[in-house]
């Protein structure tokens, strides 16, 4: 629900927004997961921006990354300092123009931002699931989003768009429900994790599980595994940046001192920065959700799921138009992985646009304002919308 505000009228923001909830998979009709397990009931937290057309044919689904949530744009209250995580892209006159499109963003399955995950109450015990929560996949996340769209009566999407793990969901949507997806915009993503990406995720998971407060996921009634989760976030955060970004921002500058401490204090500014990022993260995110979502990302593999080992074969059933965007300094999901996807798409005769954006800030570049990306997305959506109308 979007309410009129001066900000919305000025085109600066969608204004005040409201988080909503949808629950499905009530017993006995539980949700079937790819692992073979079942889950239910399942609650999905979501937000919407813009106005749904009478024919429900102006819908764009925005998909968030690992630690994101349904709050993609706007503000929850007047005077709030920080808007939604993609406010630079979603709003009146922006790349995803809410004067034209009805935008939906939901929190992913397994998360801790309003959607059912390991911190949610297990209906069998009344206590948080912990490790009794079943393993979920990117496909399961997409199936949960599909249930939400079915509830809303939406059978066709102008586009699905997202970066990083959100980009994995974009790709999954385009192959899992090809008849629903007119276009797809995967940003800074990959068709499957490299050994390097899996390695960083495993190190982060081990940091959490080595924390004595983790207690095999049963920490909700006691002390949280704050140290382990903070270290996991520090590891992940480094992979989102680049050598140049860290050099420019910190170099080897010392933190509030003129010489080394000759102990294990945070001597360097970059050490202090990472410790701050870690401590801030534990106040808003659940350690078990971090474990589950990173594992889902590691399991993601379009070749194995749809192509019997072939990426070309994986895209054989796709029908969407694609805009694939990569970033020059993204060493977590480097450009060669996007080019592999583009090649496979073209081999299948699909409508594909590709752009490698010059950016020195690393993987997180897709979250940073970039006029070229905004222009690309706006133009691509306009072209797709015209083609849909033909």
Q: Which domains does the chain have, with CATH numbers?
A: 2-193+301-389 (3.40.50.1820), 198-293 (1.10.1740.110)
- What residues of the chain score a pLDDT lower than 50? 1-11, 390
Sort strands 31-32 and 2-3 into parallel, antiparallel or unpaired: unpaired
Cis peptide before 28 (omega within 30 of 0): yes
Backbone angles phi, psi at 84, to 5 degrees: -60, 160
Is residue 166 within 8 A of residue 141, CB to CB? The reply is no
200-239 per-residue burial string, b: 16 or more CB within 10 A, e: under 16: bbeebbebbbebeebeebebbeeebbbbbbbbbbbbbebb
Is residue 137 within 8 A of residue 296, CB to CB? The reply is yes
Q: What is the pLDDT of residue 388?
A: 78
The residue count of the chain comes to 390
Burial of 150 (0-12, 13-18, 19+ CB in 10 A): exposed
Q: What is the pLDDT of residue 389?
A: 64
Which among 6, 9, 187, 184 is positioned nearest to 98, based on CA atoms?
A: 9
Q: What is the pLDDT of residue 277?
A: 95
Which among 272, 234, 275, 231 is positioned nearest to 253, based on CA atoms?
A: 272
Place of tokens 């920080």: 82
Burial of 55 (0-12, 13-18, 19+ CB in 10 A): exposed
Determine the Cα–Cα distance for residues 133 and 288; give it in Å rounded to an integer: 9
Is residue 34 within 8 A of residue 137, CB to CB? The reply is yes
Question: Biggest alpha carbon distance in the chain?
Answer: 70
Instruction: Write out the catalytic residue numbers.
Output: 164, 330, 363
- State whether residue 308 is helix, strand or coil: coil
Q: How many Å is the Cα radius of gyration of the chain?
A: 21
CB atoms within 10 A of CB 127: 12
Residue 75's beta-bridge partner residues?
A: 16
Q: What is the pLDDT of residue 296?
A: 98
Place of tokens 């940091």: 207
Q: What is the pLDDT of residue 340?
A: 98
287-306 per-residue burial string, b: 16 or more CB within 10 A, e: under 16: bbbbbbbbbbbbbbbbbebb
Measured at the CA of 129, the angle between CA 25 and CA 109, to 5 degrees, comes to 50
């Amino acid at each position: 629900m979007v309410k009129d505000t001066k900000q919305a009228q000025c085109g600066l923001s969608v204004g005040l927004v409201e988080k909503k909830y949808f629950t499905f998979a009530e017993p006995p009709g539980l949700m079937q997961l790819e692992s073979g397990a079942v889950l239910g009931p399942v609650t999905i937290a979501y937000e919407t921006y813009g106005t749904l057309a009478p024919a429900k044919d102006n819908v764009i689904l925005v998909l968030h990354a690992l630690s994101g949530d349904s709050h993609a744009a706007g503000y929850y209250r007047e005077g709030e300092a920080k808007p939604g995580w993609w406010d630079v892209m979603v709003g009146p006159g922006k790349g995803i123009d809410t004067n034209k499109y009805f935008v939906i963003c939901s929190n992913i399955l397994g998360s801790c931002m309003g959607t059912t995950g390991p911190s949610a109450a297990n209906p069998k015990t009344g206590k948080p699931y912990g490790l009794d929560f079943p393993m979920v996949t990117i496909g399961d996340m997409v199936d949960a989003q599909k249930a939400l769209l079915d509830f809303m009566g939406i059978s066709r999407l102008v586009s699905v768009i997202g970066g990083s793990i959100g980009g994995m969901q974009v790709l999954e949507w385009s192959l899992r429900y090809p008849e629903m997806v007119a276009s797809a915009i995967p940003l800074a993503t990959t068709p499957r994790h490299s050994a390097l990406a899996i390695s960083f995720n495993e190190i982060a998971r081990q940091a959490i599980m080595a924390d004595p407060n983790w207690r095999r996921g049963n920490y909700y009634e006691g002390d949280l595994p704050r140290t382990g989760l903070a270290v996991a976030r520090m590891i992940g955060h480094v992979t989102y940046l680049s050598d140049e970004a860290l050099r420019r921002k910190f170099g080897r500058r010392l933190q509030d001192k003129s010489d080394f401490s000759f102990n294990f204090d945070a001597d360097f500014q970059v050490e202090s920065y990472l410790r701050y990022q870690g401590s801030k993260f534990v106040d808003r995110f659940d350690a078990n959700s971090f474990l589950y979502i990173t594992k889902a990302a590691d399991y993601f593999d379009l070749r194995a799921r749809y192509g019997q080992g072939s990426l070309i074969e994986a895209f054989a059933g796709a029908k969407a138009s694609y805009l694939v965007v990569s970033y020059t300094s993204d060493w977590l999901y480097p450009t060669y992985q996007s080019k592999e996807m583009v090649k496979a798409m073209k081999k299948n005769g699909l409508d594909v646009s590709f752009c490698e954006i010059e950016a020195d800030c690393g993987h997180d570049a897709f979250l940073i304002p970039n006029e070229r990306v905004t222009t690309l997305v706006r133009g691509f959506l306009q072209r797709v919308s015209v083609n849909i109308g033909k």
